[in-house]
Amino acid sequence: MRSLPVIAVTVGEPAGIGPDICLCLPDHVRQAPFAAHMVVLADRFLLAERAALLQLPVSLRDWDPSLPPRAGTLDVLHLPLAGPACAGRLDPANASQVLALLDRALAGCRSGEFAAMVTAPVHKGVINDAGMHFTGHTEYLAERTATSRVVMMLVGGGLRVALLTTHLPLREVPAAVTAVALEETLRILHREMGRKYGIDRPHILVAGLNPHAGEGGYLGREEIDVMVPVIERLRDEGMLLLGPLPADTMFSQPVLARGDCVLAMYHDQGLPVLKYASFGHGINVTLGLPIIRTSVDHGTALDLAGSGKADPGSLFVAIEQAIAMAHR
What CATH number is attached to the domain comprising 250?
A: 3.40.718.10
| Residue 235, amino acid | R
Same domain as 155, residue 131: no
In the predicted structure, residue 39 carries a pLDDT above the cut 70: yes
Q: How many domains does the chain have?
A: 2
User: Between these two residues, 69 and 2, which has the higher pLDDT value?
Assistant: 69
Please compute, for residue 129, the number of CA atoms within 13 A of its CA located in the half-sphere on the CB side.
10
**What integer best gives the mean pLDDT of the chain?**
94
The answer on 322 and 299 residing in a single domain is: yes
Residue 151: the pLDDT is 96
pLDDT of residue 135: 87
Share of the chain above pLDDT 70, in %: 99
Res 167 pLDDT > 90: no
**Per-residue pLDDT at 2:** 52
Both 281 and 304 in one domain: the answer is no
109 and 204 share a domain? no
Check whether residue 184 and residue 82 sit in a common domain: no
One domain for residues 111 and 129: yes
Q: What whole-number distance in Å separates Cα of residue 24 and Cα of residue 31?
A: 11
One domain for residues 184 and 268: yes
Domain that holds residue 247: 149-288
pLDDT band with cut points at 50, 70 and 90 for residue 281? confident
Do residues 69 and 7 share a domain? yes
Statement to judge: residues 80 and 166 lie in one domain: no
Residue 9 shares a structural domain with residue 134: yes
- Please check the confidence at residue 322 and state whether its pLDDT lies above 90: yes
**Which pLDDT tens digit goes with each residue over 244-279?**
999 999 999 999 999 999 999 999 999 999 989 987
52 with 80, same domain: the answer is yes
Whether 9 and 138 map to the same domain: the answer is: yes
> What confidence tens digit (pLDDT) does each residue in 62-110 have?
999 999 899 889 999 999 999 999 999 999 999 999 999 999 999 999 9
Write the CA distances from 316 to 75, 82, 119, 215, 325, integer angstroms: 16, 28, 11, 42, 14
Q: What pLDDT is attached to residue 1? A: 43
